[in-house]
Chain A
Amino acid sequence: MSVRPLSWRELPAAPVITEAGSALRYKTGSWRALRPVIDRGKCIKCLLCWVYCPEPAIIRGEDDGVEVDYDYCKGCGICANECPVKAISMVEEG
């Protein structure tokens, strides 16, 4: 991370986050060991991956096409497991 880590002297008295929605800035994509890759030719736009993604890191397009948000995808593989037409494969991160 490029942000300078704070020393204890700069922290509040208790572990409290006073700002709502700040988790957006916590990019969890770096946790990923396997990356889901969608084969658009096979995708039938059923949206099951979008429903099951716990993050949610599947972005739904206007035409119900889907994309992976790699900033937050932790690579759990649920989307690949749920896809009824095997359009999502899990590929090792380089």
Chain B
Amino acid sequence: MRVAQTAYARQQRVGMTGNEAVAYAVKQADVDVIAAYPITPQTIIVERLAEYVNNGELNAVYIPAESEHSALSACVGAALAGARVFTATASQGLALMWEILWIASALRTTIVMALANRALSAPINIHCSHDDAYACRDTGWIQFFAENVQEAYDLTLMAFRVSEDKRVLFPSIVNLDGFILSHGLEALYVLSDDAVKGFIPPKEPVYPIDPERPMTYGPLALFDYYMEFKKVQAEAFKRVYPVILETFGKYEEISGRRYSPVKTYLMEDAEVAVVVLGSSAGTARYVARRLRAKGQKVGVVSLTLYRPFPAGDLAKALRGLKAVVVMDRSYSFGSPGAQLFMDVATALYHERERPLLINAIYGLGGRDLMPQHVEEAFEVAREAARTGEVKEREIWLGVR
């Protein structure tokens, strides 16, 4: 982690779980409305926020909804009314919110949601897969992936600023790996309340709800206008990426911590690499470092941003490689590749020279990604690089 000396002075070093860090960031962001329904592994986020509201540390309306569907619906209404809004969920809860996700984006609400990634049933599981994050990839939400507790805190703050930026006006999801980050206790630096206040300007509603001036939000638009409204939304979403880059830059100025949609590690002269989302990036880097010591030219690419997908910057990061293993913590049945794999393959398609691609399925339902699993992935990539062909397009790491 890069932390400038000046930034050290203004920040406090604390120990928090990922859930506590997200809740602390939301409190500092001074939200107006929280509507939520408890679900493991995010429950502690909304429990902590309920405590903040109850003890007067946070002046917000707390709506304990009767379901996630209602929770997100309440968030949409509150956001349209002009409130700064937060919710959190996971897995089945996210699935129950799903139809409202589209509405939240199309109505250009600026809700920030924490998603403590958890596998979808069946069988019932409460641990980490990225099924839930992938399930909202097409809904028009911005999606960040935290790699550790510090990032969960930082990205939550940045999500508010990005979403509420007048050039953006889209809701954001901050993904943190269930249990691994949501319940993992780590040391992190937190900004002062004043620094956060300066970083996230007061929210200005776009189409505020006003009883004196009744309006219709989300009316019927059939074959006559639906397509035009989707084009408006599509073009607007294309303008999000530069604002995220700008926000990362502004955040570095106050925190000393540098963010980038695509993070590269030991990639300068790498011949093979893995691409990964979330907390597994650390394990992958640890393995890459060890293999480098043995003379293997391996590197790691991890993504902080999943939507909008940083296709151009990712393709640049993978330029010149011989083989790449794309790691997916989910599975897409009948698909030509799991979800991240398809995005990476699409991003690379327009390159003149493309690396060989292998899709590695790992960590489903919280199965630990051990260093030997990443070693296996690198070995498969090295073999493909050596022979010039991919033996198996899909491999499962750590499955019995």
Contact = CB atoms under 8 A, between A and B. Distances in A.
Interface stretch (A16-24, A49-57, A83-91): A16-24
Interface stretch (B32-40, B118-126, B143-151, B213-221): B213-221
B215 A20 contact: yes
A8 B215 contact: no
Contacts of B224: 5
A20 B218 contact: no
A5 B227 CA distance: 12
B229 A11 contact: yes
Contact of B231 (A8, A20, A22): A8
A14 B216 contact: no
B1 interface: no
Majority-rule SS of A interface residues: loop
A8 B217 contact: no
Contacts, number: 53
A16 B228 contact: no
A2 interface: no
Interface string A15-33: 1111110100000000000
A34 B79 CA distance: 43
Given A6-B228, A8-B229, A20-B215, A15 B206 contact: no
B217 A16 contact: yes
Contacts of B169: 13
Interface residues of A, number: 15
B9 interface: no
Interface residues of B, number: 23
A14 B213 CA distance: 17
Nearest to B166: A13
Contacts of A22: 216
B236 A13 contact: yes
Contact of B221 (A13, A15, A18): A15
Interface centre among A11, A19, A22 (most CB of B within 10 A): A11
Contacts of B108: 13-14
B8 interface: no
Interface in B213-243: 213-219, 221, 224-225, 227-229, 231-232, 235-236
A32 to B, nearest CB: 17
B207 A16 contact: yes
B228 A18 contact: no
A11 B219 CA distance: 14
Nearest to B215: A18
B107 interface: yes
A8 B213 contact: no
Given A5-B224, A18-B207, A13 B232 contact: yes
B235 A8 contact: yes
Nearest to B231: A8
B231 A15 contact: no
B215 A15 contact: no
B106 interface: yes
Contact of B206 (A6, A7, A8, A13): A13
Contacts of B206: 13-14
A15 B224 CA distance: 13
A72 B229 CA distance: 26
Contact of A8 (B106, B218, B228): B228
Contacts of A16: 107, 207, 215-218
Given A5-B224, A7-B228, A11-B229, A17 B106 contact: no
Interface centre among B213, B216, B236 (most CB of A within 10 A): B216
A14 B235 contact: no
A34 B169 CA distance: 45
A50 to B, nearest CB: 26
A34 to B, nearest CB: 22
29 contacts: A5-B224, A7-B228, A8-B227, A8-B228, A8-B229, A8-B231, A8-B232, A8-B235, A11-B225, A11-B229, A11-B232, A13-B232, A13-B236, A14-B106, A14-B108, A14-B207, A15-B106, A15-B107, A15-B217, A15-B218, A15-B219, A15-B225, A16-B207, A16-B215, A17-B215, A18-B215, A20-B213, A20-B215, A22-B216
Interface of B: 106-108, 169, 206-207, 213-219, 221, 224-225, 227-229, 231-232, 235-236
Given A5-B224, A13-B236, 14 more contacts: A8-B229, A8-B232, A11-B228, A13-B206, A14-B218, A15-B217, A16-B207, A16-B216, A16-B218, A17-B216, A17-B219, A18-B213, A20-B214, A20-B215
